[in-house]
Amino acid sequence: MDFMVVTGLRYSEATESYDLIIDLAEEGKLSEYFNAEKQILEHYKFKEVFIKKSKKVFVSSFHQS
């Protein structure tokens, strides 16, 4: 739930994102999705999952104020 609130993703998108994070981390490729310098998830790199006609998700920010 916290992940959905922070990212603004729908349930299905959040689970896809979480699974993608786990899979990429296990492969040592998390940087293909998470930009550590900018502290953002770059959803646009995975168009088939996050770019849809009804809702488009390009990035999620994790910057703290």
Amino acid of residue 22: I
Is there a contact between 8 and 60 (Cβ–Cβ < 8 Å)? Answer: yes
Of residues 54 and 15, the one with the higher pLDDT is 15
Residue 63: which pLDDT band, with cuts at 50, 70 and 90?
low
pTM: 0.77
pLDDT value of residue 6: 77
Average pLDDT, the chain: 84
Token pair 């790199």 in the structure block, residue: 45
Residue 64: which pLDDT band, with cuts at 50, 70 and 90?
low
pLDDT value of residue 4: 80
